[in-house]
Amino acid sequence: MCFGALCSYAANSQETRALTTGFSVSNSGGKTLESTVGEISGSTMAASGKGLRSGHSGTSHSPGVVYDLTASTNASGQALFQWTSVGADGLSGQAAYVEVKIATYPITYANYSTINSSFTLASLAPGSVEQELYGGLTAGKTYYTAVRVRDGANMYGRLSANATFGTAPVRPRAPVVSGVVAGGNFTISWGAVTSNVAGSTITVQNYEVYYSTALSGAISGPVTLPNSTLSYSVATSPLRWYFLKALDGDGFRSDASVWLNNSDEVSRTVADDSRAVVDMSPYVEDFLATSGLQPVLQHEPQFESGSTVVSYRFYFRDAANNEVTQHLAEDVTLILPLSRTGAFTVSAVSPAVNYSVYDYSAYFYNGVEDVKIGGTVNPSDGSVSILTRRPGLYKVKQVIRAQSFSVIQTEPRKVFTPNGDGVWDQFNIVYDNPEGLAITDAKVYDLSGAEIASLRSGTYGAQASLAWDGRRSNGDKAVSGIYIYQFKAGSKFYNGTMVVAR
C-alpha cells in the first residue's frame, strides 16, 4: 500500500502484473482515498470507464484471467484454441475483448507487446466456452500461446498461463520408383520429388536408399545421394528389398516408396505399420509410375472388433496428394496378417497354399457390406493372400471355412450397372471350393432360355469367383433385364438370377 505521488500514473497509464493496487489522496476538498487495479490500454481511459472522481472514493478491478487455455492442431494444420470466458470484473460482468498471442517462444509481460502474431475476439458471457481456429502456421514447429482479456474501458487483465502445441511436419511426397534387372545388376530409378504432400513446391536436399532382407528384417542404410541423382544400381545378389525416401531442406523425410526386389523386379507396397504388403508386377509398377500414382496401404484399426482380426485400406495418391480410385488392369497380391500383434514375416511373393477348414478369410467392403472373397492362408508366416485389382477396404475375419463347394455371396446382390463408371460394372459369384472341383458349363441365359454369354474367372480372389460384365458373347451390350446364371461344380449345378440396369 502506498500514498501520494509514489503511486501516481506514469504516462497516463498504470499496469499491474499481479493483483496489486494503487491508492492516492484526491486533490478535492474531501481528500478522499481512491484506487484502481489493472492496466489502461492507450493514453487515457474512456469517460464511462473506471475513473477517479472528486469528492468520493471508488475502487475498480481488472478483467479476469483465463485459467484453462488449451491449444491443439487438426489434420489441416490449423491451431484450435479453447478457453472458458471470464468477466470484466474477475468472473463477473461482461468483458469486451480477448486478445490471443502466438509465438515460437514463451510469452511473457516483457515481450507481449512485441509479438505480432495475434488476433482479437469479442468476449462471450462469463462461463461460456470460446473456440477459435488459426491457420498459416509453419510446419514442424512448437508454438506458445497466451491470452489477455480487456474490458470496455480498455483495461487489461493479467496474462494467462502459456499453452503449447506443435504443428506436424509437411513431408515431401514419396518418390515414385521403378526397377530393372539387367546384366547382373539391379537399377532403381525415380523421378525428382518437387512437392510435399500438401502440394507445395519444395527443394529436396537428398535421396536416401534403404534395404532389408525381408519385411520383418532389420532395415539397413541409408545410402545418401545428392538431389541430382535419380538412379542407383546394386548387384542382384544377395536377395534384398530396396526402398527410397526423400529428405528436404528442413530435415523432413518422406514416407517410404514402394519396396523393390533386386532379383525379380517385383515391387512391394508396405503398410504404414509394416504388417501388410501389396506385391505387384513390373507391368503394374510401370503403369503407376507413368501415371504418377503412389500406392498406399493404410492400417485401419477402427474396424478391428469382434470377428474382424485386421483391416487395411489400399488406395493411390496422385502428384497433388489427392486420393485416386484406380482399378488395375492386372492382379496384385495383397498379403494381410492373421493377428493384430505378433510376428508377421513375408519374404516370398506367392505364399504357399496351406489352410484348414477352421481358418480365416479376407473380405472386401463394397460400400454397403463386407463381401467374403476367401484368400490363401499361410500358417507358416501368419498371413492370408488374395489377388485383386480393386482399391478399397479389406478385412481379415476368423471363419469356419466350407468343407464342400458353396457359393459364398454374389456381388452385388442382384442388380449391377455395367456403364464403365467403376461401380458395380460386373456381377461376381464368389465361392469356396476346398475340394478343388472342376468348374464347367458356366453360362448366362435370358428368361427364354437362350444362351447369352459365358461366365469368366473374376477378380474376387481370382479363381474363387465367376463374373459377367453385361455383354453378349459377340461383345454387344446386353439389354436391361433379368438374366440367369448357371455353372457346374463337379457333378452339381448351381444357378441364380441377376439384373442388368442401364
The C-alpha atoms of residue 84 and residue 67 are separated, in whole angstroms, by 8
Q: Are 461 and 374 in contact (CB under 8 A)?
A: yes
Q: In the block, which residue shows the cell 439384373? A: 499
What is the dihedral sign for C-alpha 410, 412, 416, 417?
negative
The C-alpha atoms of residue 327 and residue 315 are separated, in whole angstroms, by 10
241 shares its domain with 140: no
Question: Beta 267-270 vs 259-261: how paired, if at all?
Answer: antiparallel
Q: Where are the alpha helices (DSSP H) in 354-462?
A: none
Looking at the structure of the chain, the number of domains it has is 4
323 shares its domain with 247: no
102 shares its domain with 113: yes
182 in a structural domain: no
| Tally of CA atoms within 13 A in the half-sphere of 476 that contains its CB | 5
The C-alpha atoms of residue 209 and residue 247 are separated, in whole angstroms, by 11
61 in a structural domain: no
One-character DSSP codes across 272-321: TTSS-EEEE-HHHHHHHHHHT-EEEEEE-GGG--TTEEEEEEEEEE-TT-
Contacts 24+ apart (CB under 8 A), 111-117: 112/146, 112/148, 112/159
The C-alpha atoms of residue 390 and residue 350 are separated, in whole angstroms, by 19
Question: pLDDT at position 75, please?
Answer: 67
C-alpha grid cell for residue 501? Answer: 440396369
Q: Which stretches in the chain have pLDDT values below 70?
A: 1-60, 75-76, 265, 342-358, 401-402, 458-459, 461-463
478 in a structural domain: yes
Instruction: Name the residue range of residue 213's domain.
Output: 191-265
State the distance between the two ends of the chain, measured CA to CA, in whole angstroms. Answer: 89
Of the residues 370, 401, 432, the one at which a domain ends: 401
